[in-house]
C-alpha cells in the first residue's frame, strides 16, 4: 500500500467518524423533538422579547409620535396650564427614562437572538460538512463503479481481440496451400 493510499484510508476513517458523530447528534435532536425554544424561556427573557418586539414596531413609533406631538401642542398652546413649558424638560426626562429602561431589554433580546443565530450557524456548518462528506463518498462510489466498468470493458476488448486473432489465424490457415499442393 502506498503512502497516498494510507492517507486516503486514514482520511476516510476520519470522515466516517465525523459522519457518525454528526448522525448521532442529528438523531438526538430528532428524539428531543422540535419543541420551540419559547417554552424554555425565563420570564425575563419573555419580557425582553415582548418589549423589543413592541418598541421595534411601526405601531409603537406611530403611537409615541402622536403622544409627543400632542404633548408639545398642549404645552405650547395652553395659556392656563403649562405643566412642561418650552424646553420640555419633563418630556426629555420621560424620554430619557424610557430609553434607559428600554435599552437593556432590547440588548437582552438581541443577545439571546445572537446566541440562537450562532447555534443555527453551527448547525448549518455541521450540515454542510455532512453534505460535503456524503457527496465525496458518492463520488468515490461512482469512481469505483466507473473503474469496474472500465476494467470490464478492457477485459471484453482483450477477449474479443483474442477471438479475432484466432479467427484470423483460422482464416489464414484455410487460405494457405498445403504442402501436397
Q: What percent of the chain has pLDDT over 90?
A: 42
- In this prediction, residues 52-72 reach a mean pLDDT of 94
> Cβ atoms within 10 A of the Cβ of 52, count?
19
Residue 109: name the closest of 64, 54, 60, 61 by CA: 54
pLDDT in tens, 166-177: 888 888 777 665
* Strand, coil or helix: 18: helix
Whether the predicted pLDDT of 76 surpasses 70? yes
Q: Residue 11: its pLDDT value, please? A: 60
Q: Provide the whole-model pTM.
A: 0.54
Using CB atoms within 10 A of its CB, is residue 41 exposed (0-12), middle (13-18) or buried (19+)?
A: middle
Which letter does DSSP use for residue 38 in this model?
A: G
- In this prediction, residues 69-83 reach a mean pLDDT of 84
pLDDT in tens, 9-40: 666 777 777 777 777 877 776 676 555 555 58
Whether the predicted pLDDT of 162 surpasses 90? yes
Q: Residue 148: its pLDDT value, please? A: 94
Which letter does DSSP use for residue 33 in this model?
A: -
Question: Which of 65-69, 120-124, 127-131, 175-179 shows the highest mean pLDDT?
Answer: 65-69
Q: Residue 19 and residue 177: Cα distance in Å, rounded? A: 72
Band (pLDDT 50/70/90 cuts) for residue 64 is very high
Q: Residue 17: its pLDDT value, please? A: 78
**DSSP alpha helices (H): ranges in the chain?**
3-32, 43-55, 58-77, 89-175
Q: Residue 14: its pLDDT value, please? A: 75
Whether the predicted pLDDT of 179 surpasses 60? no
Amino acid at each position: 500500500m502506498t503512502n497516498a493510499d494510507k492517507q486516503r484510508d486514514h482520511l476516510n476513517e476520519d470522515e466516517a467518524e465525523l459522519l457518525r458523530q454528526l448522525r448521532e447528534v442529528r438523531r438526538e435532536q430528532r428524539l428531543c423533538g422540535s419543541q420551540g425554544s419559547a417554552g424554555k424561556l425565563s420570564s425575563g427573557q419573555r419580557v425582553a422579547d415582548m418589549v423589543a418586539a413592541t418598541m421595534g414596531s411601526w405601531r409603537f413609533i406611530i403611537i409615541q409620535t402622536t403622544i409627543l406631538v400632542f404633548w408639545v401642542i398642549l404645552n405650547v398652546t395652553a395659556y392656563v396650564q403649562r405643566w412642561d413649558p418650552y424646553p420640555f424638560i419633563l418630556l426629555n426626562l420621560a424620554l430619557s427614562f424610557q430609553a434607559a429602561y428600554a435599552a437593556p431589554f432590547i440588548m437582552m433580546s438581541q443577545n439571546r437572538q445572537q446566541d440562537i443565530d450562532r447555534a443555527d450557524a453551527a448547525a448549518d456548518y455541521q450540515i454542510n460538512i455532512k453534505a460535503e462528506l456524503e457527496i465525496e463518498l458518492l463520488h468515490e462510489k461512482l469512481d469505483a463503479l466507473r473503474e469496474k466498468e472500465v476494467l470490464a470493458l478492457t477485459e471484453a476488448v482483450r477477449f474479443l481481440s483474442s477471438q479475432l486473432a484466432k479467427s484470423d489465424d483460422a482464416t489464414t490457415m484455410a487460405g494457405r496451400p498445403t504442402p501436397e499442393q
